Amino acid sequence: MAKIAVIVGSTREGSFNRALGSLAIKALEAQGAIVADVDLATFDLPLYSAALEAEAFPADAQRLKQLFAAQDGLLFVSPEYNGSVSPLLKNAIDWASRPTGEESLVALSAYRGKAAAIMSASISPFGGLRGLMHLRQILATIQMLVIPEQVLVPNAHAAFDEDGALKEALPATLIGMTAARLVKVAGAIAA
Ligand code: FNR
Protein backbone atom coordinates (compact mmCIF):
# COMPACT_ATOMS: atom_id res chain seq x y z
CA MET A 1 0.00 0.00 0.00
CA ALA A 2 1.39 3.41 -0.98
CA LYS A 3 2.39 5.77 1.81
CA ILE A 4 1.56 9.37 0.92
CA ALA A 5 2.10 12.56 2.92
CA VAL A 6 -0.15 15.56 2.30
CA ILE A 7 1.49 18.94 2.94
CA VAL A 8 -0.66 22.08 3.01
CA GLY A 9 1.15 25.37 2.44
CA SER A 10 -1.16 27.46 4.61
CA THR A 11 -1.81 27.39 8.34
CA ARG A 12 -4.40 30.18 8.14
CA GLU A 13 -7.56 29.56 10.12
CA GLY A 14 -10.26 28.86 7.54
CA SER A 15 -7.64 28.11 4.87
CA PHE A 16 -9.12 27.10 1.51
CA ASN A 17 -6.04 25.02 0.80
CA ARG A 18 -6.54 23.13 4.06
CA ALA A 19 -10.14 22.45 2.93
CA LEU A 20 -8.80 21.18 -0.41
CA GLY A 21 -6.15 19.11 1.39
CA SER A 22 -8.83 17.46 3.51
CA LEU A 23 -10.71 16.40 0.36
CA ALA A 24 -7.45 15.11 -1.13
CA ILE A 25 -6.76 13.03 1.99
CA LYS A 26 -10.19 11.39 1.69
CA ALA A 27 -9.59 10.69 -2.02
CA LEU A 28 -6.15 9.16 -1.31
CA GLU A 29 -7.58 6.96 1.45
CA ALA A 30 -10.35 5.86 -0.94
CA GLN A 31 -7.54 4.68 -3.24
CA GLY A 32 -6.06 2.60 -0.42
CA ALA A 33 -3.17 4.92 0.49
CA ILE A 34 -1.80 5.25 4.01
CA VAL A 35 -1.91 9.01 4.47
CA ALA A 36 0.19 11.22 6.75
CA ASP A 37 -1.42 14.63 7.20
CA VAL A 38 1.52 17.04 7.63
CA ASP A 39 0.36 20.12 9.55
CA LEU A 40 3.20 22.63 9.15
CA ALA A 41 1.90 24.54 12.20
CA THR A 42 3.20 21.65 14.31
CA PHE A 43 6.77 22.07 13.00
CA ASP A 44 9.04 24.75 14.40
CA LEU A 45 10.87 25.68 11.21
CA PRO A 46 12.91 28.89 11.28
CA LEU A 47 13.57 30.62 7.98
CA TYR A 48 16.40 28.64 6.37
CA SER A 49 19.85 30.06 6.98
CA ALA A 50 23.21 28.42 6.35
CA ALA A 51 24.55 29.72 9.67
CA LEU A 52 21.68 28.11 11.58
CA GLU A 53 22.13 24.90 9.64
CA ALA A 54 25.85 24.80 10.46
CA GLU A 55 25.36 25.61 14.16
CA ALA A 56 22.49 23.25 14.88
CA PHE A 57 20.22 21.65 12.27
CA PRO A 58 16.73 22.34 13.69
CA ALA A 59 15.18 19.24 15.27
CA ASP A 60 11.87 19.84 13.50
CA ALA A 61 13.56 20.19 10.11
CA GLN A 62 15.12 16.78 10.75
CA ARG A 63 11.72 15.41 11.84
CA LEU A 64 10.05 16.77 8.70
CA LYS A 65 12.79 15.33 6.49
CA GLN A 66 12.45 11.91 8.12
CA LEU A 67 8.68 12.01 7.72
CA PHE A 68 9.05 12.79 4.01
CA ALA A 69 11.75 10.14 3.62
CA ALA A 70 9.38 7.49 5.00
CA GLN A 71 6.79 8.14 2.25
CA ASP A 72 6.36 6.71 -1.24
CA GLY A 73 4.84 9.95 -2.52
CA LEU A 74 4.07 13.53 -1.51
CA LEU A 75 1.02 15.65 -2.29
CA PHE A 76 1.51 19.41 -1.98
CA VAL A 77 -1.46 21.77 -1.64
CA SER A 78 -0.31 25.38 -1.83
CA PRO A 79 -1.82 28.84 -1.99
CA GLU A 80 -0.45 31.20 -4.61
CA TYR A 81 1.44 34.18 -3.20
CA ASN A 82 2.42 36.77 -5.81
CA GLY A 83 2.54 34.17 -8.53
CA SER A 84 4.51 31.57 -6.59
CA VAL A 85 4.21 29.11 -3.70
CA SER A 86 3.76 30.27 -0.11
CA PRO A 87 7.00 30.98 1.79
CA LEU A 88 5.81 28.59 4.50
CA LEU A 89 5.81 25.73 2.02
CA LYS A 90 9.03 26.73 0.24
CA ASN A 91 10.88 26.97 3.55
CA ALA A 92 9.67 23.49 4.55
CA ILE A 93 10.69 22.04 1.16
CA ASP A 94 14.09 23.74 1.44
CA TRP A 95 14.89 22.44 4.94
CA ALA A 96 13.97 18.86 3.99
CA SER A 97 16.19 19.11 0.90
CA ARG A 98 19.34 19.65 2.95
CA PRO A 99 21.87 16.86 3.49
CA THR A 100 22.19 15.44 6.99
CA GLY A 101 24.68 13.02 8.51
CA GLU A 102 27.08 11.66 5.91
CA GLU A 103 24.86 12.52 2.94
CA SER A 104 26.30 14.31 -0.09
CA LEU A 105 25.07 17.78 -1.07
CA VAL A 106 22.83 16.32 -3.77
CA ALA A 107 21.47 13.31 -1.86
CA LEU A 108 17.92 14.73 -1.69
CA SER A 109 17.02 11.63 0.30
CA ALA A 110 13.54 12.92 1.24
CA TYR A 111 12.56 13.44 -2.38
CA ARG A 112 14.69 11.78 -5.03
CA GLY A 113 12.75 9.55 -7.42
CA LYS A 114 9.48 9.73 -5.52
CA ALA A 115 6.07 10.60 -6.95
CA ALA A 116 4.52 14.01 -6.27
CA ALA A 117 1.22 15.70 -7.01
CA ILE A 118 0.17 19.34 -6.71
CA MET A 119 -3.05 21.24 -5.96
CA SER A 120 -4.01 24.84 -5.24
CA ALA A 121 -7.05 26.79 -4.11
CA SER A 122 -7.15 30.52 -4.72
CA ILE A 123 -9.64 33.34 -4.40
CA SER A 124 -8.70 34.43 -7.93
CA PRO A 125 -10.43 33.15 -11.07
CA PHE A 126 -7.14 31.53 -12.14
CA GLY A 127 -7.06 29.11 -9.21
CA GLY A 128 -3.38 29.52 -8.36
CA LEU A 129 -2.15 28.27 -11.76
CA ARG A 130 1.05 30.38 -11.71
CA GLY A 131 1.95 29.07 -8.26
CA LEU A 132 1.52 25.48 -9.41
CA MET A 133 3.81 26.09 -12.40
CA HIS A 134 6.52 27.18 -9.94
CA LEU A 135 5.76 24.29 -7.60
CA ARG A 136 6.05 21.77 -10.44
CA GLN A 137 9.45 23.21 -11.34
CA ILE A 138 10.66 23.21 -7.71
CA LEU A 139 9.68 19.56 -7.25
CA ALA A 140 11.38 18.57 -10.51
CA THR A 141 14.52 20.35 -9.27
CA ILE A 142 14.57 18.18 -6.15
CA GLN A 143 14.28 15.09 -8.38
CA MET A 144 10.61 14.24 -7.80
CA LEU A 145 8.41 12.72 -10.49
CA VAL A 146 5.45 15.10 -10.64
CA ILE A 147 2.36 13.46 -12.15
CA PRO A 148 0.64 15.31 -15.00
CA GLU A 149 -2.73 15.66 -13.29
CA GLN A 150 -3.18 18.67 -11.01
CA VAL A 151 -6.07 20.40 -9.27
CA LEU A 152 -6.95 24.09 -9.33
CA VAL A 153 -9.84 25.49 -7.33
CA PRO A 154 -10.62 29.05 -8.54
CA ASN A 155 -12.88 31.47 -6.62
CA ALA A 156 -12.11 29.42 -3.53
CA HIS A 157 -14.11 31.70 -1.22
CA ALA A 158 -17.28 30.49 -2.99
CA ALA A 159 -16.16 27.00 -4.02
CA PHE A 160 -16.90 24.96 -0.88
CA ASP A 161 -20.28 24.18 0.69
CA GLU A 162 -20.84 24.20 4.46
CA ASP A 163 -19.77 20.54 4.70
CA GLY A 164 -16.44 21.31 3.03
CA ALA A 165 -17.37 19.64 -0.26
CA LEU A 166 -16.70 21.32 -3.61
CA LYS A 167 -19.78 22.72 -5.30
CA GLU A 168 -18.40 22.25 -8.83
CA ALA A 169 -18.10 18.73 -10.24
CA LEU A 170 -14.93 19.33 -12.29
CA PRO A 171 -12.38 20.00 -9.52
CA ALA A 172 -14.00 17.29 -7.41
CA THR A 173 -13.50 14.80 -10.27
CA LEU A 174 -9.90 15.97 -10.75
CA ILE A 175 -9.12 15.35 -7.07
CA GLY A 176 -10.15 11.72 -7.53
CA MET A 177 -8.16 11.36 -10.77
CA THR A 178 -5.07 12.97 -9.23
CA ALA A 179 -5.26 10.81 -6.10
CA ALA A 180 -5.67 7.66 -8.20
CA ARG A 181 -2.66 8.41 -10.39
CA LEU A 182 -0.47 9.45 -7.44
CA VAL A 183 -1.22 6.24 -5.54
CA LYS A 184 -0.60 4.17 -8.67
CA VAL A 185 2.72 5.84 -9.55
CA ALA A 186 3.97 5.99 -5.95
CA GLY A 187 3.10 2.32 -5.44
CA ALA A 188 4.80 1.28 -8.69
CA ILE A 189 8.00 3.15 -7.80
CA ALA A 190 8.08 1.66 -4.30
CA ALA A 191 7.50 -1.91 -5.57
C1 FNR B 1 -2.17 36.31 -2.06
N2 FNR B 1 -3.20 35.78 -2.82
C3 FNR B 1 -3.01 35.50 -4.16
N4 FNR B 1 -3.92 34.79 -4.88
C5 FNR B 1 -3.67 34.48 -6.19
O6 FNR B 1 -4.47 33.81 -6.81
N7 FNR B 1 -2.53 34.90 -6.79
C8 FNR B 1 -1.58 35.61 -6.14
O9 FNR B 1 -0.55 35.94 -6.72
C10 FNR B 1 -1.81 35.93 -4.78
N11 FNR B 1 -0.88 36.65 -4.08
C12 FNR B 1 -1.00 36.75 -2.71
C13 FNR B 1 0.07 37.28 -1.97
C14 FNR B 1 -0.01 37.31 -0.61
C15 FNR B 1 1.16 37.84 0.18
C16 FNR B 1 -1.17 36.85 0.07
C17 FNR B 1 -1.24 36.87 1.57
C18 FNR B 1 -2.23 36.37 -0.65
C19 FNR B 1 -4.49 35.45 -2.20
C20 FNR B 1 -4.55 34.00 -1.74
O21 FNR B 1 -4.92 33.17 -2.82
C22 FNR B 1 -5.59 33.88 -0.65
O23 FNR B 1 -5.17 34.66 0.45
C24 FNR B 1 -5.85 32.46 -0.24
O25 FNR B 1 -7.01 32.43 0.58
C26 FNR B 1 -4.68 31.89 0.54
O27 FNR B 1 -4.85 30.51 0.74
P28 FNR B 1 -5.45 29.92 2.09
O29 FNR B 1 -4.74 30.53 3.26
O30 FNR B 1 -6.93 30.23 2.10
O31 FNR B 1 -5.22 28.44 1.99
95-150 pLDDT, tens per residue? Answer: 999 999 999 999 999 999 999 999 999 999 999 999 999 999 999 999 999 999 99
Q: How would you classify the pairing of strands 73-77 and 3-8? A: parallel
**Rg from Cα positions in the chain:** 16
What are the sequence ranges of the domains in the chain?
A: 3-190
Among 40, 86, 123, 133, which is best to mutate for testing ligand 1, by the most ligand atoms less than 8 A from CB?
123
Q: pLDDT value at position 191?
A: 84
Distances (CA, A) of 37 to 40, 46, 75, 103, 104: 9, 21, 10, 27, 29
Half-sphere exposure of residue 92, counting CA atoms within 13 Å on the CB side?
A: 29
Nearest CA to ligand 1 atom 24: 122
19-54 pLDDT, tens per residue? Answer: 999 999 999 999 999 999 999 999 999 999 999 999
Residues with CB under 6 A from ligand 1: 10, 12, 15-17, 79-83, 122-124, 128
**Which atom of ligand 1 lies nearest, measured to the CA of 20?**
31
d(CA 153, CA 164): 13
Q: Is the pLDDT of residue 60 over 90?
A: yes
d(CA 21, CA 27): 10
Residue type for 8, please?
V
Say which CATH topology domain 3-190 has.
Answer: Rossmann fold (3.40.50)
* DSSP type of residue 157: G
